Copies of this chain bind each other. A is one copy, B any other.
Amino acid sequence: MGDSVLKDNRPAKQGRRPNALRTAETRKALIEATIECLCEIGYSRTTTHEISRRAKITAGALQHHFGKKDELILAALDTLMAEMSLVLDRAEHVEGTTRQKIDAFVDLLWSEFYADRRYMAVWEIVIGSRGESDLHPRVAMHRHASVEKCEDVWCRAFDLPRARDDPRVKALHFALNYLRGSAMLPIVPAGNADADGMQEALKDFLVHEFARHGK
C-alpha cells in the first residue's frame, strides 16, 4: 500500500491516525493477548514473545509500551478488575427479598466472574506470580482491593454495617471461598462438575445465615 504516494496527495486524511489513538489500540491489543495467553496456556508459558505474536504486534512495540513484563501483567489485572467493578456496581441495586438478592448476587458472581474463563487469568496471575518477589505484593494488593469492593457492595445491597465479624459478612466470605474453589474445577478436572447445580445449596446456606442472624 503506497502510503508514501498518498501522503503526498492527502497529508492529513490518509496518514497515520493520532498517536494517542494508536497507543490505546496497541495497549489494548497487548493486554487482551496477555489475558488470552494466561487463560489458555497459563502463567508459565505466557511469554512476551507469545503475547506479541497473538496481538500481532512486534516485541519492540510491546517493549515500548510496557518496558517490563510485570507492567503488562499488572495492566491485564487492572483491566479485569475494572470490568469486575462495573459488574459489581450493578449488583448493588438489585431489589427484592433477601432470597432474591442473594440469588442475584451469587448468580452474578458466578456467571460474570468465577465461571467465566476470562477471569481464569486472574487466578493464573495470582498463583503464577507467587514466586515473583517484585510482582506478587502488587498482585496481592489488587486482590485485597477486589474483595474489599465485593464486601462493600454486599454490605450496601443488604444494608449491613461494615463489620468483619458480622456473620452475614462472614457468610459472604464463605461464599467467596466456595466460589473460588469451584472456579478451580475446570483446571482441576476432578470432582463433581455440576458446580451450577450446587449453587442452590450455597444460596440456601446464605439465606439460612441471614435468617439465623437477624435481618
Contacts and interface: CB of A to CB of B under 8 A. Distances in A.
Nearest to A148: B190
A188 B126 contact: yes
A195 interface: yes
Contacts of A208: 208
A189 B179 CA distance: 16
Interface in A150-207: 164, 169-171, 173-174, 176-185, 187-192, 194-195, 197-198, 201-202, 205
Contacts of A112: none
Interface residues of A, number: 52
A143 interface: yes
A178 B183 CA distance: 10
Contact of A192 (B170, B187, B190, B192): B170
B201 A174 contact: yes
B131 A45 contact: yes
Nearest to A144: B190
A44 interface: yes
Residue among A43, A189, A191, A194 facing the most chain B CB atoms (10 A cut-off): A191
A82 interface: no
A147 interface: yes
A131 B42 contact: yes
A64 B171 CA distance: 52
A5 to B, nearest CB: 45
Contacts of A187: 126-127, 130
A194 B165 CA distance: 10
Contacts of A127: 42, 123-124, 127-128, 184, 187
A190 B143 contact: yes
Given A177-B198, A178-B174, A189 B131 contact: no
15 contacts: A42-B130, A43-B128, A44-B128, A127-B127, A143-B190, A144-B189, A164-B192, A173-B192, A176-B181, A177-B191, A177-B198, A180-B180, A180-B184, A181-B184, A201-B205
